[in-house]
Amino acid sequence: MNNGAKSAEFPIGVFDSGLGGLTVVKEIIHHLPNERIVYFGDTARVPYGTKSAETIIRYSREIVRVLLEYKVKMVVVACNTASSLALDVIKKEFDLPILGVIEPGARKAVAVTRSRRVGVIATSSTVKSGRYAAKIVELDKKIAVTSTACPLFVPLVEEGWFDHAVTYRVAEEYLGGMKKKKVDTLILGCTHYPLLKGVLHEVMGPKVQLVDSAMEVALQVKDELVRRRLLRTRLEPGRHQFIVSDEPRQFEHLASRFLGGGIKNVRRYIYV
């Protein structure tokens, strides 16, 4: 086996602040069923969505180091907040391909908008960073971007209230301004939001396209592996490993909501 073939066998590292990044894992498994994945959920330090750039950069750096111990061939920053605040820094510090979710989501939105009015919903830190808006405008400066932080969506999803009256009420409240701006495309800029597609469709109306950044990043992972000749060639379903930084039971319990299937034998990583 030459070196290229060997590293193609290595897993893809994916990390998130907690379990939301499993929406990205689900899409990667769907598009690349033979790939192996090592997932790290920083459940001891979640949420990232309210923390500073300095803290998120430190956390992200530590997690990439852990993933490197598993010989990953690529790192996917599934967390929108970490992608907004830490991606540029860790890309410079580590010598392997690192992809985030902002650019793929922004590209898709630019490709599908007709009215050139795009909305972004995300955590407070992602919105404050302005990264989605900056990327969209870099791609097409005629696009007007409206961004809204929706911090209550994360706990509602973790509570399993995908179709609950309270979730509709909260969505109406958050998205009122977005509707007034008549956006025709809405980026779901947080790992948890793809699980609220039903509510968001209903509240925004059928003419607004929802851009799922989890799906878009999975497609970019595929392109990138092909381009670098790192696609796993064995025709057997990849085995995955899940690591969390807090007690694994709660993660195992909620994971099926995000992945659509159960997870067992989640490992615990203890920071020293």
- Binding interface with ligand DGL (CB under 6 A): 16-18, 20, 46-49, 79-81, 123, 126, 154, 190-192
- Closer CB to ligand DGL, 11 or 18, in the complex: 18
Is residue 152 within 8 A of residue 169, CB to CB? The reply is no
Q: Give the nearest distance from C-beta 36 to ligand DGL in angstroms.
A: 22
- Closer CB to ligand DGL, 18 or 248, in the complex: 18
Q: Give the nearest distance from C-beta 20 to ligand DGL in angstroms.
A: 4
The pairing of beta strand 12-16 with beta strand 74-77:
parallel
Beta-carbon contacts of 114 under 8 Å, excluding residues fewer than 6 positions away, are 184
- Closer CB to ligand DGL, 67 or 79, in the complex: 79
Catalytic residue among 190, 203, 225, 230: 190
Is residue 37 within 8 A of residue 25, CB to CB? The reply is yes
Distance CA 201, CA 198 (A): 5
- Closer CB to ligand DGL, 8 or 190, in the complex: 190
Beta-carbon contacts of 10 under 8 Å, excluding residues fewer than 6 positions away, are 36, 71, 72, 73
Q: Give the nearest distance from C-beta 21 to ligand DGL in angstroms.
A: 6
Q: Give the nearest distance from C-beta 160 to ligand DGL in angstroms.
A: 16
**Is residue 150 annotated as a catalytic residue, yes or no?**
no
- Closer CB to ligand DGL, 103 or 184, in the complex: 103
Catalytic residue among 79, 87, 154, 195: 79
State the chain's maximal CA–CA distance in angstroms: 59
Closest CA to 254 of 210, 195, 198: 195
Closest CA to 84 of 109, 110, 106, 111: 106
Closest CA to 74 of 88, 91, 61, 57: 91
Q: Give the nearest distance from C-beta 218 to ligand DGL in angstroms.
A: 15
* In the complex, residue closest to ligand DGL by CB: 49
**Is residue 190 annotated as a catalytic residue, yes or no?**
yes
| Per-residue H/E/C for 209-259 | EEEEHHHHHHHHHHHHHHHCCCCCCCCCCCCEEEEECCCHHHHHHHHHHHH
Catalytic residues: 79, 190
